[in-house]
Amino acid sequence: EETVNKIAAGEVIERPASVVKELVENSIDAGAHKVLIEVRDGGKSFIKVTDDGSGIDPDDLPLAFQKHTTSKISGAQDLETIGTLGFRGEALASIASVSEAVEVRTKTRDALSGSYLRIENGKVAETKEVGSPVGTSIVVWNLFSNVPARRKHLKGREAKLVHIIDVITELAIIHYDIAFELFSGSRTHFKSARSNSWDDILSRIFGLKAVAGMAPLQASGRGWRIEGMIGDAFNLRASPDRIFIFVNGRAVSSRPMAGALREAYRNIIPPGKSPIAVLSLEISPDLVDVNVHPAKREIRLLHENEICSAVTQEAALTLSSYAK
Ligand code: ADP
Ligand code: MG
């Protein structure tokens, strides 16, 4: 059964960036205003996520590491309408089963003291009361140390830090009212402050100059609505791609939507360059075919053609208004 758990966990937890994503999404679900992420060795040996969210009740703490004990979901039909980022109740259990040790320090507003829980190789090793500010701090030690097949897949450390930065960048853009900070090797690799608009958050992430040339984009149809910001031709970037697409608040990769955007730039973009753009699609759940596999980012939109041609059209309009 342990092996089965590890195999299933490996599907959710592919690499250190997946752990960071799951932990940070839990912080977001807990209503955090500030999330601090600290990693060593690209996250391989150490990942720590600290938030100022609701904290976990001492009685619930061991349950948080058991599969499917999450209270966020009552039936399969809720899957599509669920408002929080987590819904399967297996991230923490999976992370604990594929790492050497997991430590949690947490305190709710009402609790007199904080609680500490240490899990080693998937089993509770220690619990005690500790001093703690309100919120939660989770440390993951030596990811995949007990899963040799996975460990072999962990390649160069720089590459992995980039994956972590990408995950945090996406979360920071769509949750711009939360401040994120990433530390590695005693350096800050990402820092955002609580913002009240995309203008604000994007200028903090990409610089004022990049955002000065950005304009809002809006489009809508029956059951869907897009809000976005797209950059002018002076803000073309070399890869990595700076097109961020969100569907109902989750970062996705949508080749068709990214392609629709590039189409609008087609005559003004030199080869090898890419626009900087954010598109956030809110769409009725019955119009999107969500692949509920948590590691997959691909989605299928039922009215893809309608949405994509609206994106091209609105982006082209925005771009032509720059020309004036
Ligand atoms: P899910 O997010 O799908 O519910 P997880 O395994 O990610 O499942 O987390 C299990 C539970 O642990 C959550 O439902 C939540 O109650 C609690 N939890 C985890 N992380 C935090 C956190 N940072 N702050 C508050 N509660 C948390
Ligand atoms: Mg979760």
What pLDDT score does 241 carry? 64
Q: How far is the CA of 147 from the centre of ligand 2 (A)?
A: 22
Looking at the DSSP assignment, which residues form a beta bridge with residue 13? none
Is the model's pLDDT at 229 over the cut of 60?
yes
Instruction: Check residues 280 and 236 and name the one with the higher pLDDT.
Output: 280
Strands (E), 174-283: 179-184, 187-191, 214-221, 224-231, 237-238, 242-247, 250-252, 273-274, 276-283
pLDDT at 239: 54
Residues of the chain with CATH 3.30.565.10: 2-191
Range scoring the smallest mean pLDDT among 93-102, 246-255, 285-294? 285-294
Distance CA 105, CA 124 (A): 14
Percent with pLDDT over 90 in the chain: 51
Beta strand 114-120 with 99-107 is antiparallel
* 99 CB within 6 A, ligand 1: no
67 lines ligand 1 (CB under 6 A): no
Query: Does ipTM surpass 0.90 in this model?
Result: yes
Q: How far is CA 76 from CA 81, 92, 195, in A?
A: 10, 20, 35
Q: Backbone phi, then psi, for 222, in 5-degree steps? A: -70, 115
Is ligand 1 within 6 A of the CB of residue 48?
no
Could you tell me which residue, 186 or 72, shows the higher pLDDT?
Answer: 186
Q: Which CATH architecture has domain 2-191?
A: 2-Layer Sandwich (3.30)
pLDDT tens-digit readout, 243-281: 899 999 989 888 899 899 988 888 776 666 667 889 999
CB 160 within 8 A of CB 44: yes
CA of 170 to the centre of ligand 1 (A): 20
Q: Cα of 93 to ligand 1 centre, how many Å? A: 10
- Interval between CA 304 and ligand 1 midpoint (Å): 33
The CATH number of the domain covering residues in 208-323: 3.30.230.10
Query: Is the CB of 70 inside a 6 Å radius of any atom of ligand 1?
Result: yes
- Which atom of ligand 1 is least distant from the CA of 72? 4
Confidence of residue 53 (pLDDT cuts 50, 70, 90): very high
Mean pLDDT, rounded, for 136-145: 95
Confidence of residue 165 (pLDDT cuts 50, 70, 90): very high
User: Which pTM was predicted?
Assistant: 0.88
Higher per-residue pLDDT: 169 or 79? 169
Residue range 191-211: mean pLDDT, rounded? 85
pLDDT of residue 75: 46
Question: Minimum-distance ligand to the CA of 67?
Answer: 1
